[in-house]
């Protein structure tokens, strides 16, 4: 049978069934694993993370463009998080209609009124892109969103290059296997966490991973934990209920959970409304935000990653406010923007989207994948909200049209078949600031996710996309 790789090269014949088994075995061998809960009452199942059989082609120029702009996005997010007036103005309409964003903003206000206990800021973010082939000529890099909260898969994607290199060698593509880059994103994120822990200044204090009750993507997080343990930094996994029951602040506002001082709170949970099951969970979030512990993200950085802020940044003159007398930086960032539109005032934008829904994406203020609306769903929601203030809970964005690629998606219990796929490139960024001094600002690695073109939205955790590697062309 012809493999997907033969579609790329027109050269090799080998059984894709055999290569699929090799890929699965190699993934498990190299730690590319994910824990699956089939039902609340079932035993846990550990399986390989969903991956592509082959790496997907990515233009080298666009790839390095995404890496180069990341340090500027780090700086931008940090500056926004410190600008209370900007956040107030940007989110003013959203918080009147979106209860979740309003609740987060209330915590932000409470922290500012009391005064921030901690001057150390830790940022771990991921900027996501697609290559837009809408216009003739070379595809252009366009940002989908920037994730400032729980940017995932730095751990697993640190291991996937080994998998695809091995697969290509088995398929006889030794030369191509050498074009897959090393990618130790987990070490990059751990380096920034370790720097924040070091600046906190207590060797007895721990790094606390704030996690979900049932964590599907646990091995991704374990990779980062293991990197911290290599540096002799203790980590603990806690949930909102643990903080609620055993968390406290001492007179200096040091955070203690279960009797242990916490130097860094690394939030891997708390970015969706359903993460807060009770008022106690909200109070636990406030307790952590008020504390001396370094938060990743702190509440200002969380708000900086909202869709509404993304839309406001695209308006003329806004980037210049954050990068005065740096026109080259402004241009680097702005060149990655897709068209973004407010729904706050007037009906012109809504009517435009209703006439041509295939050209747009409707985005609520939500993270985690699977929240965006397209086509008929977009039309239905816009018809429902166009006459009310509820429309201010959304933004509208130009739909990106990437070039499809052929690949085989390896998912648990899914049939093996060649699919037409779309790729999304993510770039990890890390920064640590103490007071006004930026002590670390880096691009920490990359992530490629691929999904079948039949799915409009959804990531790996949502069961739609799979892990991939860029084959630079």
Phi, psi for residue 216 in degrees, rounded to 5? -70, -45
For residue 128, the surrounding DSSP H or E stretch is: strand 120-132
Buried b vs exposed e over 183-205: b needs ≥16 C-beta within 10 Å? bbbbbbbbbbbbbbbbbbeeeeb
In this prediction, residue 217 carries a pLDDT of: 87
**Beta carbons of 251 and 184 less than 8 angstroms apart:** no
Is residue 290 annotated as involved in ligand binding?
Answer: no
pTM of the model: 0.94
Digit-coded pLDDT (tens) for 7-23: 454 444 567 788 899 99
Is residue 321 annotated as involved in ligand binding?
Answer: no
Which of 33-37, 172-176, 179-183, 192-196 has the least mean pLDDT? 33-37
Would you call 212 a catalytic residue per the annotation? no
Among 172, 339, 368, 458, the active-site one is 368
Q: Where are the domains of the chain?
A: 1-338+400-472, 339-399
**Beta carbons of 81 and 304 less than 8 angstroms apart:** yes
Most confident segment among 207-216, 237-246, 446-455, 458-467: 237-246
Would you call 368 a catalytic residue per the annotation? yes
Would you call 152 a catalytic residue per the annotation? yes
Would you call 305 a catalytic residue per the annotation? no
**Beta carbons of 310 and 145 less than 8 angstroms apart:** yes
Which of 323-337, 383-397, 422-436 has the least mean pLDDT? 383-397
Is residue 364 annotated as involved in ligand binding?
Answer: yes
- Residue 297: asked if its preceding bond is cis (omega within 30°), the reply is yes
Would you call 449 a catalytic residue per the annotation? yes
Among 227, 238, 449, 459, the active-site one is 449
Would you call 213 a catalytic residue per the annotation? no
**Beta carbons of 461 and 152 less than 8 angstroms apart:** yes
Digit-coded pLDDT (tens) for 454-465: 877 656 766 688
Among 81, 123, 126, 291, the active-site one is 126
Mean pLDDT of 211-230: 93
Mean pLDDT of 264-288: 97
- The percent of residues above 70 in pLDDT, for the chain, comes to 93
Which of 58-62, 219-223, 246-250, 415-419 has the least mean pLDDT? 415-419
In this prediction, residue 341 carries a pLDDT of: 95
- What 3-state class would DSSP assign to 148? coil
Is residue 51 annotated as involved in ligand binding?
Answer: no
Of 330, 202, 211, 231, give the one whose Cα is nearest residue 271: 211
Q: How confident is the model at residue 38 (pLDDT cuts 50, 70, 90)?
A: low
- What 3-state class would DSSP assign to 76? helix
Q: How far is CA 55 from CA 23, 63, 153, 173, 423, in A?
A: 12, 14, 17, 12, 11
Residues in CB range of 319: below 8 A, 6 or more apart: 76, 313, 330, 333, 334
Which of 72-86, 95-109, 167-181 has the least mean pLDDT? 167-181
Most confident segment among 134-148, 308-322, 405-419: 308-322
Is residue 470 annotated as involved in ligand binding?
Answer: no
Q: How confident is the model at residue 3 (pLDDT cuts 50, 70, 90)?
A: very low
Would you call 307 a catalytic residue per the annotation? yes
pLDDT of 2 above 50 = no
Average pLDDT, the chain: 92
Is the alpha carbon torsion for 84, 87, 89, 91 positive or negative?
negative
Digit-coded pLDDT (tens) for 380-400: 999 999 889 999 999 999 999
Interatomic CA distance for residues 269 and 304, integer angstroms:
17
pLDDT of 242 above 90 = yes
DSSP 174-209: HHHHTTSPP--HHHHHHHHHHHHHHHHT-TT-EEEE
For residue 67, the surrounding DSSP H or E stretch is: helix 60-82
Digit-coded pLDDT (tens) for 89-114: 999 999 999 999 999 999 999 999 99
Mean pLDDT of 329-343: 96
Is residue 369 annotated as involved in ligand binding?
Answer: yes
Is residue 346 annotated as involved in ligand binding?
Answer: no
Is residue 24 annotated as involved in ligand binding?
Answer: no
Interatomic CA distance for residues 426 and 154, integer angstroms:
10
Q: Is 370 exposed, middle or buried (0-12, 13-18, 19+ CB in 10 A)?
A: middle
pLDDT of 1 above 60 = no
DSSP 276-335: --SHHHHHHHHHHHHSSSEEET-HHHHHHTSHHHHHHHTSTTHHHHHSTT-HHHHHHHHT
**Domain covering 339-399 in this structure, CATH number:** 3.30.1490.50
Among 56, 152, 177, 314, the active-site one is 152
Interatomic CA distance for residues 428 and 197, integer angstroms:
20
Is residue 221 annotated as involved in ligand binding?
Answer: yes
Is residue 370 annotated as involved in ligand binding?
Answer: yes
pLDDT of 265 above 50 = yes
Is residue 217 annotated as involved in ligand binding?
Answer: no
pLDDT of 43 above 60 = yes
Is residue 355 annotated as involved in ligand binding?
Answer: no
Among 56, 147, 185, 269, the active-site one is 147
Mean pLDDT of 336-347: 88
Helices of type H across 356-465: 375-385
In this prediction, residue 9 carries a pLDDT of: 46
The pairing of beta strand 405-410 with beta strand 51-52: antiparallel
Among 307, 308, 391, 433, the active-site one is 307
Is residue 358 annotated as involved in ligand binding?
Answer: no
């Amino acid at each position: 049978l012809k493999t997907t790789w033969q579609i790329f090269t027109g050269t090799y014949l080998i059984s894709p069934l055999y290569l699929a088994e090799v890929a699965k075995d190699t993934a498990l061998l190299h730690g590319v694993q994910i824990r699956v809960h089939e039902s609340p009452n079932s035993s846990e199942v550990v399986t390989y993370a969903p991956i592509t059989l082959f790496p997907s082609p990515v233009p080298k120029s666009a790839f390095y463009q995404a890496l180069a702009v990341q340090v500027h996005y780090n700086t931008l997010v940090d500056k926004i998080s410190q600008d209370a007036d900007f956040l107030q103005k940007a989110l003013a309409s959203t918080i009147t209609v979106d209860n979740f964003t309003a609740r987060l903003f209330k915590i932000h206000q409470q922290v500012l009124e009391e005064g921030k206990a901690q001057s150390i800021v830790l940022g771990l973010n991921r900027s996501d892109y697609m290559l837009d082939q809408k216009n003739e000529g070379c595809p252009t890099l366009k940002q989908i969103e920037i994730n400032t909260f729980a940017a995932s898969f730095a751990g697993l994607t640190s291991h996937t290059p080994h998998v695809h290199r091995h697969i290509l060698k088995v398929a006889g593509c030794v030369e191509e296997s050498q074009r897959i880059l090393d990618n130790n994103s987990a070490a990059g994120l751990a380096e920034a966490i370790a720097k924040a822990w070091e600046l906190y200044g207590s060797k007895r204090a721990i790094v606390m991973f704030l996690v979900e009750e049932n964590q599907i993507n646990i091995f991704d997080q374990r990779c980062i934990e293991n990197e911290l343990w290599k540096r002799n930094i203790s980590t603990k996994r806690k949930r909102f209920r643990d903080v609620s029951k055993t968390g406290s602040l001492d007179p200096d506002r040091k955070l203690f959970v279960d009797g242990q001082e916490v130097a860094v709170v690394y939030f891997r949970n708390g970015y969706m409304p359903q993460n807060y099951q009770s008022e106690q969970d909200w109070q636990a979030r406030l307790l952590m935000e008020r504390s001396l512990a370094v938060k990743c993200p702190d509440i200002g950085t969380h708000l900086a990653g909202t869709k509404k802020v993304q839309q406001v940044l695209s308006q003329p003159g806004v980037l210049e406010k954050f990068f005065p007398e740096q026109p080259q930086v402004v241009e680097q960032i702005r060149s990655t923007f897709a068209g973004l539109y407010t729904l706050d005032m007037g009906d012109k934008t809504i009517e435009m989207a209703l006439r041509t829904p295939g050209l747009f994406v409707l985005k609520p203020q939500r993270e985690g994948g699977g929240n965006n609306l397209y086509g008929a769903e977009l039309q239905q929601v816009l018809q429902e909200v166009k006459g009310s203030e509820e429309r201010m809970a959304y933004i509208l964005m130009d739909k990106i049209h990437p070039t499809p690629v052929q690949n085989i998606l390896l998912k648990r219990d899914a049939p093996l078949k060649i699919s037409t796929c779309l790729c999304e490139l993510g770039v990890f960024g890390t920064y640590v600031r103490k007071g006004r001094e930026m002590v670390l600002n880096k691009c920490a690695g990359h992530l490629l996710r691929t999904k079948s073109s039949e799915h409009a939205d959804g990531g790996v955790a949502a069961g739609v996309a799979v892990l991939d590697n860029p084959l630079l062309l």
